[in-house]
Amino acid sequence: MRVAVISDIHANLHALTAVLAEVDGERPDAIWCLGDLVGYGPRPNECCSTVRTRADLGLVGNHDLVVLGQVDVTEFNPEARRAVAWTQGVLNDDSRRYLAGLRPQATADGVELYHGSPRNAVWEYVLDTEAIQAAFSHSNAKVILIGHSHIPIVAHLTGHDVQAAHAPESTEADLGDGRLLLNPGSVGQPRDGDPRAAWLLLDLDDGRVWFRRVEYEVTRTQEEIRGAGLPEALAERLAFGI
């Protein structure tokens, strides 16, 4: 079974459309989404509708939950809070119902999926060795998929030895006789210095994974952010992948 994994779309429809066009070229058996469909970006309803239609499995993220009023907005920085308020004002009922029906973790085909981590499915950023080791220790799955940090990561556990690294474009990994922790990076707001939209292709039969990046029309999303009156910094950062 081959699965396309996407995460952290953040209402960036042009990035999502570009990623799905490339995904379609790979003809995977399923598409899994790790959450944060909304927040920061200008096209929340279109992104929710697209993911609802295209994804075979979806999770809810912290930005989705705060827009639904299920987590405290004071956990967010001022720019994110402004985006939350704007999104709450434009989100339609179909999008609300879809997001409200999702959960922050799931299991499918022996793979465990979390928006944050096995230790905290909503909030934890898995970015350092301690968090990666904790993620493995809180799960028994051979493959763990996480989002939330917007940074593509591959971590391999063999015995008690953890090898982890940033996973730029063209990174490949092999499950072998160990376990894998994978973050596909962000579709809509990458933060690893590469502005291209990120996703990964996972072959569960062969135990292989490929990290991918896709060019999209960043300027169109920037124009839409500015047109919506969202914070300028949310538009600027897209050009730099930060």
The answer to whether 195 and 221 have CB atoms below 8 angstroms apart is no
Q: What is the pLDDT of residues 8-50, one digit of tens each?
A: 999 999 999 999 999 999 999 999 999 999 999 999 999 999 9
pLDDT for the residue 229: 97
What is the residue range of 37's domain?
2-239
Q: Is 189 helix (H, G, I), strand (E, B) or coil?
A: coil
Least confident of 3-7, 52-56, 147-151, 173-177: 173-177
CATH number of the domain at 204, please: 3.60.21.10
Task: State the average pLDDT over residues 89-93.
Answer: 98
pLDDT for the residue 75: 79
Judging by beta carbons within 10 Å of its beta carbon (0-12, 13-18, 19+), is residue 111 exposed, middle or buried? buried
What's the domain count of the chain? 1
In whole angstroms, give the CA distance from residue 35 to residue 41.
Answer: 14
Q: pLDDT band for position 103 (50/70/90)?
A: very high
**Those residues with Cβ within 8 angstroms of residue 220's Cβ, 6 or more apart along the chain or in another chain:** 14
